[in-house]
Structure formats: structure tokens, C-alpha cells
Structure 1
Amino acid sequence: MHLHKKHSKSSYQPQDRLLLLKGGIEYFELLRDLILTAEQSIHIQMYIFRYDNAGQMVMEWLCQAARRGVSVYLLVDGYTTHLAFNILHRIESEGVQVERYEPLFKNGAFYFGRRMHHKIVVADGRRALVGSNNIDDDYYGSLSHPAWLDMALFVEGTVAGELERICVQLWNKEAARNRPMCQTTQQVRYLEKGVERISVRVLRNDWVRNRNDIWKSYFNLLSKAKEEVYLVSSYFLPGKRLRRQMKLAACRGVKIKVITAGLSDVLIAKQAERYLYPWLLRNHIEVYEYQDSILHAKMGVRDGRWLTLGSFNINNISTYASIELNLEVRNRPFVRRVQQELEQLIVAHCTPVSPDHYLHQRPFVRLFERLCYNFIRILLYVCTFYFKRERFGNQ
């Protein structure tokens, strides 16, 4: 018999400062400020860190910080991020410490689907960025190639210290084999006069380790909604239980708006999403496709008073495989401003999906969408069935 340790949820804590950022230059400019003004430590945990123009720029900032004596820890996913040996040698010689999270064939088990999906930056244990942004030219953008639509939260306060402790814990797990353990920074606390403090908490998802806090937050978002819900999601493939809550909420009169990608970097996933559109529309759920670039943001908003934002996608990979992290915000003025921005996004940059479209859809197109949907379901199962055994057999 195996006993599972119950994970306690993070509690809401009032923060000194909270900002919503979009992707592109806005995100990278704040990232630069975080890195170049850090005094003690920088923790970066990224699913994708490519050594393209954007990656080289960020790496140079990290090297500058390391040369100033700042402790720099970069943890990247071992499957999606590959840095050449000569690059690793150069940046490590500058003082940047780099680790890969569970390289695919070096972790003692073939767990393809379980990846570190974090997108976290923490400076000095008191300022942090959490969102859906990776380090890659696609996320920075250019005049000819608009940045993907991502969203992040900049937080200043005690939650940043909690995020740093999470980073240290995961870093030490990967680095224990070949380098000394790093420590949590002693937090420097201050509060600007007249600044409204906003309640924020950290939620994590790692089903293998019996954590499903973010999935529960989306379940509660739908089950407790009274007026309106906004779901912004790339790779939107909710499981049966979340779809049931969406249907029940709509039956209660809750207005649900789903913003998905019009353009996608994973075409088969986009067609699988579109297979669900008729079901959503039959249940009086509004669907909008973002048109300006690829939508990569992940956010849920409820009743103008609560939101969750981070790395978690509404699909079974995030639910049952990947290691995810979101911030959850409870504050009416802040969330209402975010909701207003989403309404502006829908009006100016999205195309509504009309039920009439499916009345005139060609049968072979619908068949193709169904095949894509079933293929993705099988793929998700292949990527997660190992973990069900791990959870119940080897914890």
C-alpha cells in the first residue's frame, strides 16, 4: 500500500504590485529590466529557450548579470530545448548555471509526455514574471512576423518569494548530481505608499505527484460562475468533466466566451479544436478566433472578480502529464480591467464562429476534423497513460 502526501494549496497573499502584460516587445522589455536590475539572484525556468536572435539577446542579459556577481540559474526542458555544447560552455564560463529538466533518454524512464512546461522568471525573490511566453523569435516578433499573442503577470511581493522557492526546489532536484545546492534569496520587502494591494496565489499541476490544483481551479471557475466566463486558450481540447461543467454553466444562464487561435502552429490540433465548435455552439457558448497572429495565451476569467493565468492549457497533456504553474488573482478592479481588455480583443482582433458555417460545411471537411480530433485523443492518451501507472504504483 502506498500513501500519498497531501499537497497544501498556496494561500492568497496581498501583493505590492501586479501588472498584466502582453507578449512581444512589452514582455521582453520588462524581462530585460528584471535581469539587469537584479542584485542577488535570477531564476528562469522555460519550456522552450531557443538560441535564435531573441534567445541570444536574453542570454547576453543573463551573462551581464552573472558578470556583476548575480547568481543566475537557467532550467530548461530537456526535450524541447537543445543548446549546443559550445554555447553551453561559453555561457557557463560567464557564470550562468544551466540545467535541463529530465532529458528524454537520461531520466531512467521513457516519459515522453511529462515535461516541465513552466514559464517563470524570478529576480531577488521579490519580483517575478509568470505567463505563457517562451524565449524564441516567435514570441518577440518583428515587422514582418507579428509576435504570438501571449499574456503574463508581473508580480512584486511575497508571491515572488514563493515562486523562487519552487524554482529552487526543482533546480536542486535536477542539479543535485553535479553541483552544490542553491538557496532561496533573503527577501527584501517594501510597500509603496498609496498602492492598492491585490490578492494573488500560486497554483501548480503535476498529476504524477498528485497535484491538480490548476485543473480544479478551472473546474471551480465553471461550477461557481454566476454571470460570465472568458476562456483564452491555445490547443483548446477540454476533457469530458470540464465540458460537462461548461454545459451546466451555460444552462444556468452563464455567458461563456471562448477565444481560440485562428492561426495555429499545430494544424492538426486546430482542426481537432474545430471539431468541438458545433458542440460549443449548440450549448450557447460563444467562440471567437484570434486573427492577427498565433494565439498562445492561457487564461480563465470569472464574473469580473477572479482570474487564472500561466502555462496551463485546457487539454489532457496539461491535466495529466506536464508540470504546470499558474497565478490566481482575486480582485474586482484588476480583473474587470482584464475583462475589458478581452472584450476589446474580441471586437478588434477576433472573428466570431457562426453556427451557419457548419450548416454549409462540406462532409469531407467535417470528417477530416473528426479524424484529427480522434488522432489527438489517442496521442494524448499515449503521452499520459504511463503516468497513471506511476501515480498508483510507484509513488
Structure 2
Amino acid sequence: MSEHWRDNNAIALLINGEEFYTSVFEAIAQAREEVLIETFILRDDKVGSQLQEVLTAAAARGVRVEVLVDGYGSAELSPQTLHDLSVAGVRVLAFDPSKPMLGMRTNLFRRLHRKIVVVDGEIGFVGGINFCADHLGDFGPMAKQDYAVQVRGPIVADLHRASLALMDQTSRVKREPKPWLTERVPLQPDSARARMLLSIRDNNEHTNDIEAHYLKAIEGARERVLIANAYFFPGYRLLRALRNAARRGVKVTLILQGMPDMPLVRLCSRLLYNYLLRDGVVIREYTTRPLHGKVALVDQRWSTVGSSNLDPLSLSLNLEANLVIDDAAFNERLYDHLSQLAEQECKSITLQRVLRGYWWRAPLIFLSFHFLRHFPAWIGLLPAHSPRLKPWTTVNETAEPGNALNPGKSL
């Protein structure tokens, strides 16, 4: 881990799309020089349309606007949207775009899963929320529960550098963030003096940084560990750290999916329940809506918010970004929210319930567990491609109605 801690940052927790989109769109509406966006999913729905509107208006004011989307997660973007953004002066890049093979997307692994927004090098957003309508409450019963943070201060410079580096803009003159402008986008922080660092996961020099921060925090925990994670299937070391923490008297609580958006992923998580419950780990399944969050806290100061799940894809293959925060006020804010969620909107998972029928499921659990644990290593034998970016408007400049990556076809 080579990241640097930054002191004196303001930070505010943003819960779900309602808070996140309002804050991001307001910041972009007041942008004067530059807007950088990284996202896994951008869709042609009402959220995507609102984003397109504020980006188009910003570009019309002379603001440099660049958007980097994942070629797999955002493959359904229409050629019309890409054309309109290009005409407006918005530069849209795709991470590892590939055409479908036999109608199927094959570029599944090593995705750009980061969600970062930087406005004028002064305001930053990091979290797990994509730009699509299923993060809004009015989407229906499958609306996702998710989290992000808005930050100001020295940490924004790290976000700015990380995004520019990934967008292959190293030839630019490097710029430092300007002093805070208090009249712009008022921020009501949960803490005004937070210490934090940006931790990324890539396939080059930072292959396990985010997992290492989790391990260090959990291994040093004395009172409490509370993790809310959508897709939970971590490695042996992290599982052992959670069990060992519970054994030494730390209150370890996991909030996991109870209403899954991907049933197979939930099944994988449940393979671990017996292993964790028998040593005192508390497991709660969130049942109000699909949990999509990637947040955690340890003791009274350590917490993290970002894009990384605790599963093989995020920990071993994808490009991810988390903020690690050392701050008592923010830790308490997140703890109060997650505790309320656990008590009021989750069901408890007991060891007795998990052991029902365990005798016939044990061989399946054993085989599935070890297959999934070794899966990243097998995929890792494939070439770890460096970021392959393409201007998507160039890729699709002759596109006809249909799919943006493969004109004329729908995915």
C-alpha cells in the first residue's frame, strides 16, 4: 500500500440515488472548468437523461467534460446518446469495449467498476452508485440500497490525479485543486476535519490494496466491526480475520443481501454462513430492497466507502476505488445508520437455521466454496490487460439504431 493520508477534509455521507444525484448534478451545474466522471453503468433512462442534460449545459459554458464508462456495464448506451454528447462537446471514453460474440458479451472480467466524480478539482464523489434509475426509490421493489460520499479538501487532488491517469491524460499540465469556494454547492459535512486516503485496486501495482486495508483494520479491532456489503465472498485471510475478531470478543456484524438482485451471488454468500456463525459472527440479511452498498466501519474511527465488494471480482480482477476514513464523527454517523438498518429492516440468521439440511448440502458447499475461491487465480492466468480506452463516439460514429457497441444489435 503506497497511498497517502490527507488531513482536514470535509465529508458527507450520501444515502441512495436521491441524495447522490442531487449533489452531483448540482455540483456539475456550477462547474466552471472541468468535470471528470468514472462509472461502471450509465443508462439511457431518466437518471442518464438528467446527467446528459447537466453535462451538455456545462460543456456549452466551456467546461471540459470527460466521461469514462465501462464497456461491459454500459454496453446498452444508445448511439443517439453518444452522438448527442459528442456534438455537445462531451468526451466519452469506454473501458475495454468489445463486440458481442454470438449475441453475448464476453468482456466480463477485469472491469472498470470505480465510481468517481471530480468537479473543478475541488469537489469529489466516491461510492458504489451508478448513473441509472434503479438507485432511486421510485424504481420499485428492486431499487437498490447504496452509499457514496461527497468530499472537499486535499483528498480531492488524489481523486483528480487517479481519474486523469486512468483517462490517459498524463500529457496535461498537472493542476492542484483551488482553495475552497464556500459559496459553491454548500456541503453540510458529517465531519469537517476528516483524515482519509484513496485506495485503489488495479491489475498492476495495487492488486490487493483495498483488501489489505480491510485486513489491517479487522485484525486490530477491539470493540466492533460492522460491514454492509452486497456481494460477500472474501478470501481465506479476511474470513479468518472476521472469525478471530469475534473469538476475541469483538462484536462482528455483517449486513448482507436478503432480497438479492443476483440470486446466485446470495447463494455463494450463504455458503459461508456456518463457517462464520459458529464463532459468533452476527449475520443480518437486509430484506427491504436489494443491498448494493460497499461500506464498513471498525471501532470508533475507521470506516470505508467505495465501489469494492468483498468478492472475487472486486478483490482480484476489477478496477476499484475506496476511500478509507479515519474520523470519529463520520464513523458514528455511518454506525447509527447501519445499526438502524440492521435492527429495523433486516432478519437475523441463526446457526440452527443454517444447519437444517446441512448434511446433504455439505459436499456441495465444500466444492462450491473452493471452486469460487480459486476462480480468481484461474482467471488471473489470462492476460492482465492494461486499461484499453476508446473514444466511444469514434467507435460508433457510423452506428445505426441498436446497441452502441455493436450497431444494429441489442444486448
TM-score, normalised with respect to structure 1 = 0.87
1:55 corresponding residue in structure 2? 48
More helix by share: 1
**Contact 2:207 2:316 (C-alpha < 8 Å) held by counterparts:** no
1:13 is displaced (CA, Å) by: 2.2
Rounded Cα–Cα distance in structure 1 between residues aligned with 2:110 and 2:80: 28
Rounded Cα–Cα distance in structure 1 between residues aligned with 2:379 and 2:98: 13
Helix, strand or coil at the partner of 2:288: strand
Helix, strand or coil at the partner of 1:344: helix
2:260 corresponding residue in structure 1? 264
Instruction: Count residues in correspondence.
Output: 374
User: Which residue among 110, 127, 134 is the counterpart of 2:130?
Assistant: 134
1:10 corresponding residue in structure 2? 4
Rounded Cα–Cα distance in structure 1 between residues aligned with 2:173 and 2:69: 19
Q: Does 1:80 align with 2:73?
A: yes
**Contact 1:205 1:319 (C-alpha < 8 Å) held by counterparts:** yes
Q: Identity percentage over the alignment?
A: 30
**Contact 2:34 2:119 (C-alpha < 8 Å) held by counterparts:** yes
Q: Which residues of 2 match residues 125-204 of structure 1 at below 5 A?
A: 125-142=121-138, 144-145=140-141, 147-172=143-168, 184-190=174-180, 196-204=192-200
Rounded Cα–Cα distance in structure 1 between residues aligned with 2:369 and 2:202: 24
1:317 is displaced (CA, Å) by: 1.5
1:252 corresponding residue in structure 2? 248
1:363 is displaced (CA, Å) by: 6.0
1:28 corresponding residue in structure 2? 21
Summarize deviations over 1:337-384 as a string: whole Å, max 9, x none.
211111111111111111221243476667766676566446544433
Helix, strand or coil at the partner of 2:344: helix
**Contact 2:8 2:192 (C-alpha < 8 Å) held by counterparts:** no
> Partner amino acid for 1:133?
I
1:4 corresponding residue in structure 2? none
1:310 corresponding residue in structure 2? 306
1:205 is displaced (CA, Å) by: 1.2
Q: Which runs of 5+ in 2 are unaligned?
A: 101-105, 183-188, 387-411
Which shows bigger deviation, 44-53 or 195-204?
195-204
Q: Which residues of 2 match residues 333-348 of structure 1 at below 5 A?
A: 333-348=329-344
2:186 corresponding residue in structure 1? none
Which shows bigger deviation, 118-127 or 52-61?
52-61
**Contact 1:10 1:203 (C-alpha < 8 Å) held by counterparts:** no
1:154 is displaced (CA, Å) by: 0.6
Summarize deviations over 1:175-226 as a string: whole Å, max 9, x none.
x9xxxx555555221386x984111211111143344221110111111111
Q: 1:250 to 1:140 in 2, by over 3 A?
A: same
Summarize deviations over 1:62-121 as a string: whole Å, max 9, x none.
111111111110001122212233321111100111001122479xxx974211111011
**Contact 2:11 2:192 (C-alpha < 8 Å) held by counterparts:** no
Q: Which residues of 2 match residues 276-291 of structure 1 at below 5 A?
A: 276-291=272-287
**Contact 1:78 1:104 (C-alpha < 8 Å) held by counterparts:** yes
Q: 1:375 to 1:52 in 2, by over 3 A?
A: farther
**Contact 1:40 1:185 (C-alpha < 8 Å) held by counterparts:** no
User: Which residue among 85, 89, 94 is the counterpart of 2:88?
Assistant: 94
Q: 1:256 to 1:235 in 2, by over 3 A?
A: same
1:64 corresponding residue in structure 2? 57
**Contact 2:31 2:120 (C-alpha < 8 Å) held by counterparts:** yes
**Contact 1:317 1:383 (C-alpha < 8 Å) held by counterparts:** no
Q: Does 1:38 align with 2:34?
A: no
Which shows bigger deviation, 145-154 or 234-243?
145-154
Rounded Cα–Cα distance in structure 2 between residues aligned with 1:155 and 1:125: 11
2:218 corresponding residue in structure 1? 222
Q: Which residues of 2 match residues 313-392 of structure 1 at below 5 A?
A: 313-361=309-357, 373=369, 376-377=372-373, 379-386=375-382
TM-score, normalised with respect to structure 2 = 0.84
Helix, strand or coil at the partner of 1:279: helix
Q: 1:167 to 1:221 in 2, by over 3 A?
A: same
CA RMSD between the two structures: 2.7
Q: 1:91 to 1:41 in 2, by over 3 A?
A: same
**Contact 1:168 1:184 (C-alpha < 8 Å) held by counterparts:** no
Q: Which has the higher contact order (CA 8 A, sep 6+)?
A: 2
